[in-house]
Amino acid sequence: MNQNFLVNNRLNYISLKFYKFMKAIILAAGIGSRLGELTKILPKSLIDVNGKSIIERQIEVFRKAGINDIILVIGPFAEKFLFNNVKYINGKKTFSHNILYSLIEAKSEMTDDVIISYGDIIFEDSIIQAILNSKNEIGLAVDLKWKEMYQNKPKNLVDKVCNVFIENNKIIKIGYKENLGESEGKIIGEFIGLAKFSKKAIDNFLEIYLELEKSHNGKFHESPSIKEGIITDMCQELIDRNYIINPIFTDGKWCEIDTIDDLKNAKILFQ
């Protein structure tokens, strides 16, 4: 038998074994109002991109990397999610909330290391491999070439890019471009919507969130309240409490699908 075949299969086995206790939580409850007619009867994450939905593409990438414990947090049009061998959590609530609270709805599933993914992004295999290879307790996937993607986009969309300031390989600030101010020579990247937390780190994340849910009033970082918060609000809260969050630099293909133009671009990038 070919020696390279044996070596490659041995490496694949080790990879699958090593990531056995890694979960993926996909936050797919978004409405997608900027996509107009497409999302009036369909969840944003089920938008078709060249024959496969956003979520279908994510699930394929995770499974290819050996991650089979996949949780989908869903909202409107729950009956249209028909994927097999995934767990569904319906995050629909009667009060106003945002993506952070959708994540908290899945807290019972956060029993191992976890990758958290926004439900409106597409990414290639190499990005997940970079995340899995990271040894950090908390890592955020960051694109340093982000400016190339926004050259022809209107200012109101560019201002909502989620930027990170990086110093000594640590993220020291995260938030919307319009709110971050001057970089003062720091490295600037874009958080692409993929985060990795170790079991210990996600335990700390949940503990702090549940504490704040009981005690915090008013504005929460960039959001009107903690229940209307976004995940980057919690990341900034962790940074302010001296938790270390590291960037995971990625150079593979990825895109967010938030507008019709984004969808057109996705169809070009992901044939």
Domains of the chain from N-terminus onward? 3-269 (3.90.550.10)
101-110, 149-158, 191-200: least confidently modelled range: 149-158
pLDDT attached to residue 92: 58
With bands split at pLDDT 50, 70 and 90, how would you rate the model's confidence at 93?
A: low
Instruction: State mean pLDDT over 22-47.
Output: 90
Q: Residues 6 or more apart from 64 whose CB is under 8 A from it?
A: 125
For residue range 160-183, list pLDDT tens digits in order: 999 999 999 999 999 999 999 888
Quote the mean pLDDT of the chain.
89
Q: 26 forms bridges with which residues in the sheet? A: 72, 117
pLDDT attached to residue 38: 87
pLDDT attached to residue 181: 86
For residue range 230-270, list pLDDT tens digits in order: 999 999 999 999 999 999 999 899 999 999 999 999 999 99
For residue range 186-234, list pLDDT tens digits in order: 999 999 999 999 999 999 999 999 999 999 999 999 999 998 999 999 9
For residue 260, give both structure tokens: 């019709």
With bands split at pLDDT 50, 70 and 90, how would you rate the model's confidence at 149?
A: confident
Q: Residues 6 or more apart from 170 whose CB is under 8 A from it?
A: 244, 245, 246, 247
pLDDT attached to residue 216: 96
Q: 79 forms bridges with which residues in the sheet? A: none
- pLDDT over 70 at 19, yes or no: no
Q: Residues 6 or more apart from 141 whose CB is under 8 A from it?
A: 127, 130, 131, 191, 192, 193, 194, 195, 196, 248, 250
With bands split at pLDDT 50, 70 and 90, how would you rate the model's confidence at 36?
A: confident
pLDDT attached to residue 33: 81
- pLDDT over 50 at 2, yes or no: no
The overall pTM is greater than 0.75: yes
Q: Is 243 exposed, middle or buried (0-12, 13-18, 19+ CB in 10 A)?
A: middle
pLDDT attached to residue 194: 98
- pLDDT over 70 at 1, yes or no: no
Instruction: Mark out the alpha helices in the chain (DSSP H runs).
Output: 3-18, 54-64, 99-104, 125-133, 155-158, 177-180, 199-215, 231-240, 260-269
What is d(CA 52, CA 95) in angstroms, rounded to the nearest whole number?
A: 32
Instruction: State mean pLDDT over 109-134.
Output: 97
Strand locations in 13-144 (E): 22-28, 48-49, 52-53, 69-74, 87-90, 113-118, 121-123, 138-143
